[in-house]
Copies of this chain bind each other. A is one copy, B any other.
C-alpha cells in the first residue's frame, strides 16, 4: 500500500482529482502494484510557510 504525498500550492478540486488519478496510474504502471492499493495525500501549503533559498515564497521579489 504505497503512499504518495504532494506538498505544494493551493489547488482546485479539478486539479486534485487530476493529480490523484494520474499519479496513481503512473505509479501502478511502474511498480506493477494494482491502482486500488495506492493512497495519495495532498498538502496545500501557504506561501508564508515555504522557504526557498532562505526566503519565504510570499516575500520573494517578482
Contacts and interface: CB of A to CB of B under 8 A. Distances in A.
Interface in A17-32: 17-27, 30-31
Contact of A41 (B22, B50, B55): B50
B26 A53 contact: no
B16 A6 contact: no
Number of copies: 6
A9 to B, nearest CB: 6
A49 B4 CA distance: 12
Given A1-B1, A17-B59, A35-B53, 10 more contacts: A3-B3, A5-B5, A11-B31, A16-B48, A19-B30, A24-B54, A26-B26, A41-B49, A42-B48, A43-B49
